[in-house]
Amino acid sequence: MKIEKINIQNFYSFKNASLDFQNYSGLTVIKGKNKDTGGSNGSGKSALVEALYFGLTGKTIRKSTEDSLVNNQAKKKCVVRLELVHNDQYVIITRQKKPTKLEFLVGEEDRTQDTVAATQAQINSFLNINHKVLLASMFFGQANDISFLDSNADDKRNIIRTFLDLDNLFGMRDKIKTYKSTFHQGAKEKDAIIFENNKNIKSLKSKIAKVEEAKKAFSTYDEHTLSLSLDDILEGEKAERDLGFKLSAHRKETDALEDQIDHIKKMMEDPHTPEACDKCGSLLSVEPIDKLAMEAKAKHLFTLVQKERRAMKELQLSRWTPPITSKEFVKVLEYKDLCRDETNYEEMKEELSHSISEARKIRDENKTWYEIMRFWEKAFSEQGVIKYVIRNILTYFNERCNFYLSYLTNSKYSIEFSEELVEKIETHNSIVQYISLSGGEKRKINLAVMLGLKDLLLLTDTSHVDLLFFDEVAENIDEEGIDGLHQLLQEIKKTKTIFIITHNKHLKTLLDSSPRISIIKSKGISSIKV
């Protein structure tokens, strides 16, 4: 990303100002003059740096309120307009306060969204910038002074996270946690289905077993019996009752006829034996019998008996007795229902078994993915990725810190960070505690570490901003350290365009031949002189 031009309107003490960065390369000194106070403080030097950061991100380095951003004379329409080139495309960002507006143009395409937040998201995505990373990589000064060495281990890891832009990885961890929960729930749901289906299969097996028992119990029944309907049984039972009545009537008639025949036989055998009266029981007088008539009558009665017996035999031959009773037929119906259900039971069991098989397959897949997500959740945790990243960048980080220390301390100090980010500072082959160092020495070591952290950004920063701003980084540093800083700036300016603000007289002298930008404040209004 190459920043070409900035236009400022009613921002802090600036009313109307602009600066074309294309006119500068190497190292440029930003000097200030406050005619209202007679000094250089409060002229607007830092405000120029602030405007650039505000234009890109909508945030301020000094955490200023909206009211303090707006020029206190104009009181409205605070505007920062940036022109830059990114991936060979010309970009214009126009940001305004009171009223709040944000416009984003890429070439001739207007990518401004309905809200400022949505437009900022478009800017961040297109330019691939993170406001924390941008601040750490472009701006060095008291307002952005990260006291890495004064931080505890957790804070140090968080700073590393910022400089390496690892928040995306932690965002990935949160997504992984969601996926893990989804897979876990999916497995639980399938386990519930498997449990329920197994319970249903057990019930079906019990029912099928009952059918098998019924088959054994009804194995003595022939197919004809089992094929009968209830109407058949009831009709057979009625026919059996009717037959019984008819046979009983024929038997009674046969018995009465045979009694008559027996009586005739007795009379013919002993015609002189008197008969008793049916009514009074007294003996009747014996009259002579007609033997021929008696024989004819007996013969006729015998014919009638034969006729009755033939009728009974015919009835017996036509007789059909149901093999089972209507009461027993109820069990047959139950059996038939069981046999019909057996087919359904088998089909249902097969369907449930298939469902269990599919559920197990999906359940096992969910469990596999759950374990995978558990692994990656741990991998993307602070004890995973952060530890791994720190372990693998430590050598490079230590090298860069010591590279900068070699300039700032003339190689008197060296520093080495462990995997736990505990520093070991050495001087003249002796280990010293950071807390025991003077303010100036601490300042040099902190600056070296900050520059080392900046180099870490190069590992992940794809925006590649071409500008660096140093705001009063030389304060409280001795002349030897200033000489080293000057040499270091000469080295850095080979690859970056540097703008430096300083009150240090020795550094000013060393930079006397460098190009100048003057910020002059008069009657509360700052202007840029080039």
pLDDT at 288: 65
Average pLDDT for 278-286: 61
Average pLDDT for 189-203: 88
Determine, yes or no, domain membership for 362. Answer: yes
pLDDT at 429: 86
Bridge partner list, 414: 426
| Two tokens, residue 207 | 């029912």
Provide, for the chain, the percentages of residues in helix, strand and coil under a 3-state DSSP scheme, each rounded to the nearest 5.
55, 20, 25
DSSP result, 232-257: HHHHHHHHHHHHHHHHHHHHHHHHHH
Amino acid letter, residue 407? Y
Total of domains in the chain: 2
Print burial letters for 492-525: b (CB count within 10 Å at least 16), e (below 16): bbeebbbbbbbebebbbebbeeeeebebbbeeeb
Residues 201 and 269 placed together within one structural domain of the fold: no
pLDDT at 166: 66
Residue carrying the six token digits 């249902």:
348
Residues 242 and 292 placed together within one structural domain of the fold: yes
Residues 343 and 202 placed together within one structural domain of the fold: yes
Contact at 8 Å (CB) between 61 and 49? yes
pLDDT surpasses 60 at 491:
yes
Residue carrying the six token digits 């960065």:
21
For residue range 89-133, what is the model confidence (pLDDT) as tens digits? 999 999 999 999 999 999 999 999 999 999 999 999 898 887 777
Residue 269: give the domain boundaries.
Answer: 229-322
Which of 256 and 92 is assigned the larger pLDDT? 92
pLDDT at 253: 87
Determine, yes or no, domain membership for 43. Answer: no
Residue carrying the six token digits 């925006």:
463
Residues 270 and 210 placed together within one structural domain of the fold: no
Phi, psi of 138 (to 5 degrees): -110, -35
pLDDT at 94: 96
Distance CA 256, CA 460 (A): 127
For residue range 441-490, what is the model confidence (pLDDT) as tens digits? 888 888 888 888 888 776 765 556 778 888 888 877 888 889 998 998 99
| Two tokens, residue 281 | 């029981």
Please give the helix or strand (H or E) that residue 28 lies within, else none.
strand 27-34
- Mean confidence (pLDDT) of the chain: 83
Which of 330 and 393 is assigned the larger pLDDT? 393
Please give the helix or strand (H or E) that residue 423 lies within, else none.
strand 423-427
Residues 236 and 364 placed together within one structural domain of the fold: no
Average pLDDT for 342-357: 81
Residues 211 and 341 placed together within one structural domain of the fold: yes
pLDDT at 355: 86
Among residues 450, 456, 504, the alpha carbon closest in space to that of 145 is found at: 450
| Two tokens, residue 45 | 């030097």
Helix axes 153-163, 387-408, angle to 10 degrees: 90
pLDDT at 107: 93
Determine, yes or no, domain membership for 288. Answer: yes
Strands (E), 21-67: 27-34
Give how far Cα 436 sits from Cα of 253, 402, 439, 442, 449, Å: 142, 20, 9, 9, 18
**Domain final residue pick, 379, 397, 414:** 379
Determine, yes or no, domain membership for 517. Answer: no
Which of 4 and 147 is assigned the larger pLDDT? 4
Distance CA 370, CA 258 (A): 100
Distance CA 17, CA 80 (A): 10
Residues 212 and 235 placed together within one structural domain of the fold: no
| Two tokens, residue 54 | 């505000």
pLDDT category at 8 given cuts 50, 70, 90 is very high
**Domain final residue pick, 276, 297, 322:** 322
For residue range 133-186, what is the model confidence (pLDDT) as tens digits? 777 777 877 655 556 787 887 777 777 776 676 666 667 777 888 888 888 898
| Two tokens, residue 405 | 């220390």
Residues 213 and 354 placed together within one structural domain of the fold: yes
**Domain final residue pick, 301, 322, 343:** 322
Contact at 8 Å (CB) between 23 and 503? no
Phi, psi of 122 (to 5 degrees): -65, -45
Distance CA 389, CA 395 (A): 11
Contact at 8 Å (CB) between 80 and 8? yes
Residues 300 and 239 placed together within one structural domain of the fold: yes
Phi, psi of 422 (to 5 degrees): -90, 125
pLDDT at 91: 96
Among residues 87, 88, 129, 81, the alpha carbon closest in space to that of 104 is found at: 81
Residue 498 falls in which region: left (phi positive, over 0), alpha (psi -120 to 50) or beta: beta
Residues 6+ apart with CB under 8 A from 165: 130, 133, 457, 460, 461
pLDDT at 78: 93
Determine, yes or no, domain membership for 466. Answer: no
Residues 238 and 314 placed together within one structural domain of the fold: yes
pLDDT at 373: 84
pLDDT at 29: 92
Contact at 8 Å (CB) between 261 and 301? yes
Distance CA 434, CA 413 (A): 11
Distance CA 397, CA 385 (A): 17
pLDDT at 158: 74
Which of 125 and 64 is assigned the larger pLDDT? 125
Determine, yes or no, domain membership for 127. Answer: no
Average pLDDT for 65-76: 83
Contact at 8 Å (CB) between 55 and 6? yes
Residues 311 and 347 placed together within one structural domain of the fold: no
pLDDT at 118: 95
Residue percentage of the chain with pLDDT more than 90: 24
pLDDT at 137: 72
Residue 126 burial (CB count, 10 A): 16
Please give the helix or strand (H or E) that residue 527 lies within, else none.
strand 525-529
Residues 286 and 246 placed together within one structural domain of the fold: yes
Q: Is the pTM of this model over 0.85?
A: no
Average pLDDT for 278-284: 63
Determine, yes or no, domain membership for 207. Answer: yes
Average pLDDT for 324-336: 68
* Region of poorest pLDDT, from 72-81, 116-125, 277-286, 413-422: 277-286
Distance CA 147, CA 435 (A): 12
pLDDT surpasses 80 at 227:
no
Determine, yes or no, domain membership for 198. Answer: yes
Print burial letters for 253-264: b (CB count within 10 Å at least 16), e (below 16): bbeebeebbeeb
pLDDT at 426: 94
Average pLDDT for 260-266: 85
pLDDT surpasses 90 at 280:
no
Which of 109 and 226 is assigned the larger pLDDT? 109
Q: For the chain, what is the radius of gyration of the CA atoms?
A: 57
pLDDT at 168: 66
Distance CA 169, CA 389 (A): 11
